Amino acid sequence: MMRAGHPQWLWLSLLAGVALLLYLFRRRARAVEVSTLLFFTAPAADRREAAWLRHIRKWLSYLLTAAVIMCGVLALARLSWNPSGDPPGPVLLLVDRSASMDARRAGGLTLWEEVQREMSERIEALPDGVPVSVIAYDARPVLVQPPTTSRREVKETLGRLQPRVLPGNAAAARAFAALHAGPGSGAEIWHVTGAVEGPGDSAVDEVRITPEGPAAANAGITAVSLRSRPLQPGERDLFVRVEAHGKGMAGGSAPVRLEIRVNGGLMQLRNLEIPWGGSEALVVPLRLGAGSRLEVLAHMEGDALAADDRVEVWVPEERPRQVAWVSEDPDPFVEIALAAIASAGRLGFVRMKPADWDAGDTRWSLLICDGWLPAERPGIPAVVIDPPQSAGWLDVLRLEGPQPRDVLRVAAAEHPVLFRVVSGRAGVAQTARVTPRPGLEPLWLAGDDPVLLAGLDQGGPLVILGFSPRRSDRLAFSAVFPLLLGNALYWCAGWAEPDSSEGAAVLATGSILESEDPGRAPASLRWIRQNGAAAAAETNAHVVELDRTGLWEMAGGRRGSAALLSAEETREAAAAGGRAAGGLPLRAGWGGATAVLLAAALGLLLWESWLFHRRGVY
């Protein structure tokens, strides 16, 4: 079976007819009568031709000319053939350009550079006429090259791609590639990545291409969180998790030096011994001034990937969040506890009647429902205390009277709401039986009834206290209740939308930021470098993608930082080596005929010249 990669050029085969016309209407030799041929150079006897032989030679000359033209046209049309008759399907290159592709290998080249080199060779080895399209993916897949048969175009597209400091989402990329290839198209997906194939990655039939290479070593920061300590202004806990992968996975540990710098100055230094393939999390207490630049650095000898070694964080300003305390009859113990929390300066409370509650008011970061339930689930984190009745979004059974519950069983002692809460000293007067909802986790159980629940309900944090503080003598007069309420509020506040002025958010690269004024101005982002200089990232859209690491600041004053924070990328940067390249089933038998056709055209030209023109060259 033959196939033309560029069939649009086949119409040039009509030029063979032009050759025939040129042959038929060729310029004839001028006929000259002479007295004798004795003095003209007489051809040797063996060179004299009979008329029929001359006739054959003329036609042979035409046929050779037409064959030369056809060879040229077919070469231009990129003719290829396959004895087996199977038509070649298109090839879809699924190129991983996530952060791990920038990992440096033992040979000195990055994984991306090795992939580029290997891809160039494989593309050259493709049969002519096979369309190739390219999908690059990191956090999101993007079709960067529509199907084309031009190898040069594909290589130029690959040359323009660069690894990005973004985590890779291979599953989404595979799904996109499968959708793009279409069912039954016969398209072959070449997945170019350095990632180790997981057990569940075989949903899409693909050819994985991973360059060979020895194992690398990589240590990186995979999680960072800076949290203020409740009731301790200026005191913060820095949560850091560091992972080490790659070399020496069979045993031993990786020496990692963790540096914590504030405004460029070294504040703390920790030397970690992390088992290969494992991680170590630590909480570092820090006293930080608001607006400082906190920098966390992980150093390891022979580290393969630099993108996951550094995280910068704005130290947020401690501006209290506004909390709406809605109650018809405020509980005095709640008031006492809130007063203590308010003194810490992180939360500000406004008491109001249920009639004054406006669900659309955006001032509120938190809602405290004290003996009251709104008709609809509030759109902000909420703490419900002593719910009086059921609402449409919460099923509550009000008890006849308060039921003292002196013994409480702790269902989730590690939950942040119970942080440093001594549950054994607590006793409550249960006033309502709350039906657990999906996402809500019972923390305290009185018998089989949950009296304290916390969790994410409909995407937002919700804490429900199914008891009345004023009737819970053993609770109200102890430090348990203020601590419990404070934990609940801080936990909910941690889930709340970050305050633009707070600026403590550490977002993973690849996150999308919306313009603060989506109706008017496009998103405008400034990246703050270590020396304080800013690099603007203007967009025409109302969203901007965090495509690098570091501190950023939006035009409206919103501040934050971006970091890779991807355990997968940290692991893949090390695991990229030491794995044999995936087999590339180039369709055997498919051969490009361009070189053969060009050689045939040249050979025919030489033959035709030798046959018919060698005596005409003087």
Partner 1 sequence: MAGSDDGETLFDPAFLRKLRTFHLRLRRRRALQRRGQQSTPATGYTREFRDYRSYTAKDDYRAVDWTLYARLGRLYIRLYEEVQELHVHVLVDRSGSMARPYPEKRLAALRLAAGLAYLGLAGRHRVSLYGLGDRVEGLTRPLEGLGSLRVVLDALSGLEFGGQTDLPGAFSRFRPPRARYGIFFIISDCFGRDPAGADAALGRASAWPGEKHVIQIHHAAEASPEAEGELLLADVETGERRRVWFTAADRERYERRFDVFCQDWRRGCAMRQMEHLVWRVDEPFEGFFLRLLARGSTLVER
Pull the structure tokens for residue 243.
Answer: 């992972």
Provide the minimum distance between the beta carbon of 614 and partner 1 in the complex, in angstroms, as a whole number. Answer: 12
Provide the minimum distance between the beta carbon of 65 and partner 1 in the complex, in angstroms, as a whole number. Answer: 18
Q: Rule CB under 8 A: is residue 30 a binding residue for partner 1?
A: yes
Judged by CB under 8 A, the residue of 24, 38, 533, 580 near partner 1 is: 38
What residues are paired with 444 via a beta bridge?
Answer: 410, 452
Q: Are 118 and 209 in contact (CB under 8 A)?
A: yes
CA torsion sign for 432, 438, 444, 448 is positive
Provide the minimum distance between the beta carbon of 17 and partner 1 in the complex, in angstroms, as a whole number. Answer: 25
Q: 522 in the Ramachandran plot: left (φ > 0), alpha (ψ -120 to 50) or beta? A: beta
Pull the structure tokens for residue 173.
Answer: 């990329």
Q: Rule CB under 8 A: is residue 40 a binding residue for partner 1?
A: yes
Q: How far apart are alpha carbons 386 and 372 in whole angstroms?
A: 8
Provide the minimum distance between the beta carbon of 82 and partner 1 in the complex, in angstroms, as a whole number. Answer: 47
Q: How far apart are alpha carbons 431 and 397 in whole angstroms?
A: 9
Q: Rule CB under 8 A: is residue 50 a binding residue for partner 1?
A: no
Judged by CB under 8 A, the residue of 8, 21, 24, 37 near partner 1 is: 37
Closer to partner 1 at the Cβ: 265 or 616?
616
Q: How far apart are alpha carbons 608 and 22 in whole angstroms?
A: 16
Provide the minimum distance between the beta carbon of 36 and partner 1 in the complex, in angstroms, as a whole number. Answer: 4
Q: Rule CB under 8 A: is residue 45 a binding residue for partner 1?
A: no
DSSP conformation letters of 365-429: SEEEEES---SS--SS-EEEES--S-BTTB-EEEEEEEEEE---EES-TTSGGGTT--GGG--EE
Contacts of 507 (CB under 8 A, 6+ apart): 513, 546, 560, 561, 562, 563
Closer to partner 1 at the Cβ: 28 or 152?
28
Judged by CB under 8 A, the residue of 34, 44, 250, 536 near partner 1 is: 34
Judged by CB under 8 A, the residue of 31, 355, 536, 588 near partner 1 is: 31
Closer to partner 1 at the Cβ: 39 or 52?
39
Closer to partner 1 at the Cβ: 520 or 615?
615
Q: Rule CB under 8 A: is residue 41 a binding residue for partner 1?
A: yes
Judged by CB under 8 A, the residue of 36, 271, 531, 540 near partner 1 is: 36
DSSP conformation letters of 238-252: EEEEEEEEETTTTS-
DSSP code of 346? S
Judged by CB under 8 A, the residue of 21, 24, 29, 45 near partner 1 is: 29
Q: Return the SS3 of 455.
A: strand
Pull the structure tokens for residue 273.
Answer: 């011994």
Q: Rule CB under 8 A: is residue 24 a binding residue for partner 1?
A: no
In the region spanning residues 596 to 615, those forming contacts with partner 1, defined by CB under 8 A, are 615
Closer to partner 1 at the Cβ: 58 or 287?
58
- Which x/- pattern, by CB under 8 A, does the window 557-596 give for partner 1? ----------------------------------------
Provide the minimum distance between the beta carbon of 51 and partner 1 in the complex, in angstroms, as a whole number. Answer: 9
Q: Return the SS3 of 440.
A: strand
Q: How many residues bind partner 1 (CB under 8 A)?
A: 18
Closer to partner 1 at the Cβ: 128 or 608?
608
Q: Which residues bind partner 1 (CB under 8 A)?
A: 28-41, 43, 615-616, 618
